[in-house]
A = this chain, B = another copy of it.
Amino acid sequence: MDTRTWLYRQLDPEAWQQAGLSPINRLLVAMIIIATLLAIIETEPLLTRGRDHWFTLAQLLFGCVFLAEYLGRLWSLGAAPAPPTVAAQRWRFVRSAGGVIDLIVIIATFLPFIAPNVAAFRLLRLVRIVGLARLGRLSLAMRSVGEAIHSRRYELAVTAGLAAMLLVLGASALYWLEGHLQPDKFGSIPRALWWAVITMTTIGYGDVYPITAAGRLVASMVAICGIGLIAMPTGILAAAFSDAMQRNRERLEVSADGEGS
């Protein structure tokens, strides 16, 4: 097995023939996590003061690693078994979601050194964390969670629709009842919607709340319905996960019966 094939099997999670992630991909996942943590810490002046050059160095290092990974992926695709030409394979990777994210992240890592004012782009590096989702291709758990949610997408959509309707009606009611009393908080339906979202998700910051008896009555009803907003998708997901597990078990039993007879 030549180096290119070895690298291809190391980098492409689907080409890796053993269980779990390949050692190089594991290393990359670890580096993505560390780079993300560094990008988080980097924004806190209390932690970076006087240590700016270390962060710059770490950033350069990670930039080089991810650039090497990108080039390595492109090169190793020459060993891919798929029918089209190597150029087509590479172009497909460059166009893919993963490829585009990789490129943006690499550019966002090196750009601030040239044009310091684009530091805000450094944040895009966080998008790289989505690269972790590639772990999912391996993970049976991620697929089973995804399938369970997918199998109940219509029920979840109905719940979301009811929730959206309740949000709009609740916000409208509060706008109508308290819009003239607290104009900066309920003075328009979009403003009241902020209150409605924070109430129905049971967060309740306390920056906006009704002050009249009528407003509180409506808010209480919205709050109680908000429990349904949490209970219904939870119940639907619970049933979906339960169903998926049982189907798996029955499949196992059927195959066990087949072997037994």
Contacts and interface: CB of A to CB of B under 8 A. Distances in A.
Nearest to A36: B168
A94 B43 CA distance: 46
Nearest to A149: B232
A233 interface: yes
A165 B120 contact: no
Contacts of A141: 154-155, 157-158
Interface stretch (A1-9, A60-68, A97-105, A189-197): A189-197
A-side interface mostly? helix
Contact of A227 (B43, B132, B201): B201
B224 A120 contact: no
A160 B231 CA distance: 13
Interface residues of A, number: 83
B233 A241 contact: no
A44 B206 contact: no
Contact of A240 (B129, B220, B224, B235): B235
B126 A44 contact: no
A219 to B, nearest CB: 8
A199 B202 CA distance: 10
Interface stretch (A11-19, A77-85, A110-118, A242-250): A242-250
Given A145-B159, A238-B242, A243-B245, 12 more contacts: A39-B189, A40-B189, A43-B175, A44-B189, A155-B241, A190-B213, A194-B220, A197-B224, A201-B227, A234-B237, A236-B241, A242-B242
